[in-house]
Amino acid sequence: MKKRSVFQTLIKNYVLFTAVLVFIVFLTIMLSAVFLTSSMQDEVMPKITAESLVKENYETIDMTDLEIAGGWIEIIDSQGDVIFVKGDKKTAFMNYTLADLADLIGYQEHQAYFYQSEAFLSTEDETLILLVVLPEDAVELNINITFGLFDTSNQIVITLILSVIVFILLFIGNVWVYTKWTAKKIKMPLEKISLGLKEVTEKQLETPMDFKAEYEFLEIRDAFNMMIEKLHQQALEKQEIEHLKNEMFVHISHDLKTPITTISGFSKALSEGMINDPVKVKNVLNTIYKKSQKLAQLVDDLFELSKLENAGYQLEMKDENIVEVVRLVVAEFYEQAEEKDIELAFNCDLERFMLKIDKKAIHRAISNLLSNAIHYNPKHTKVSVELKAIKACVIIDVKDNGVGIDEHIRKHIFMPFYRGDTSRTSKEGSGLGLAITKKLVEKHGGDIVLTADEHDKTIFRITIR
């Protein structure tokens, strides 16, 4: 389904509003016409025309309206003689020729009276002429103010007023409906967004925002849901890091306490002469040395990680032949690999590739990976380091076909203080080695990922650009 924008919605609503408005205008006009027609039909029009007054029995003609206008009627026979007058006749004519009638009938300028005529048959079947005479001022008034003398213009005025009132009421109703409808379409998603933001401020990150609306609001909704998903994930990661830190401090305190206890106990025994056998003394001193080395390593790892997490800490970058740097690191582990009957190899088609690096940092990063690969894998495991260059980018793979790393450990493997509980990751380490390696690689502007393929169960891939 195609998403609709706010602009399209407003255009649609406006077109609908306009259509309704046109309908209201049309309806108002129609209602006004019907009302006016009905009113005019009910209205008794004034009888002041010859056509409306003529009748066979002319003596019974109703003179009410004509007298109001100051007029009268005359009945003329076929010889032109006036045989009957009704009303207050103000002229002296008692006989008319056809020429006279032709000159008088109709509105003549500067004429004192307005004449109308209508031929009819009397009750005796005699052809007569009804002559209606109106004063000029009455005719003028009647033309300028439609039926004003007889109060018929009021109906038109009333109809116009009612039409305007009906239009205004319908227009206001239409505007109200349009405003409420449009406001609802915009207000609903805004309320949902406001509620979602309020929940975020209250750290309620579990419920995503869900509503149907125009495209722009849906973009806000999707961006908001993505944001709370990330915040929720960060909160979970923060909880896990805190958990790992607490766990690490427990292990470190144990790892510190154990060698310190051992060193303290053996030192006291030696100082008090409790051990005199030279062989035992030598073994005790060797144990004290190993425990002190372990303590030194723990302190060194903590110090190194602390430095690397400081954004202001800078490595000593120099142009180095990275092929030779990595080859020397691998060479240092051949003896350790032989002792565990592990096959170690370095593969690279290059003899020289200059890259700006911190030689000590790269040495430590590769050493951490090789140390883990040799230490945590069984005999006959194949461990290899491969280096290749693609344009200005160097890729270093440290891989083995040993026990592999469980999936649930992979996503946490580079977290500080993390130590797994499988054979691959025993509790001998501090859990800082891979975190330090990742920080060292990132300080070079590179990245490190953990992957695998059908031949090698564990592949740590370092990319330096």
Q: Which residues lie closer than 8 Å to 317 by C-beta, 6 or more apart?
A: 356, 357, 358, 444
What pLDDT shows up at residue 150? 46
Low-confidence residues of the chain: pLDDT under 70: 1-10, 13, 36-45, 106-109, 139-155, 200-207, 209-211, 213-216, 218, 248, 251, 255, 417-431
What pLDDT shows up at residue 268? 86
What pLDDT shows up at residue 426? 45
What pLDDT shows up at residue 144? 41
pLDDT tens-place string over residues 330-369: 999 999 999 999 999 999 999 999 999 999 999 999 999 9
pTM, entire model: 0.49
What pLDDT shows up at residue 177? 79
Q: How many C-beta neighbours within 10 Å does residue 10 have? A: 14
Q: Which residues lie closer than 8 Å to 11 by C-beta, 6 or more apart?
A: none
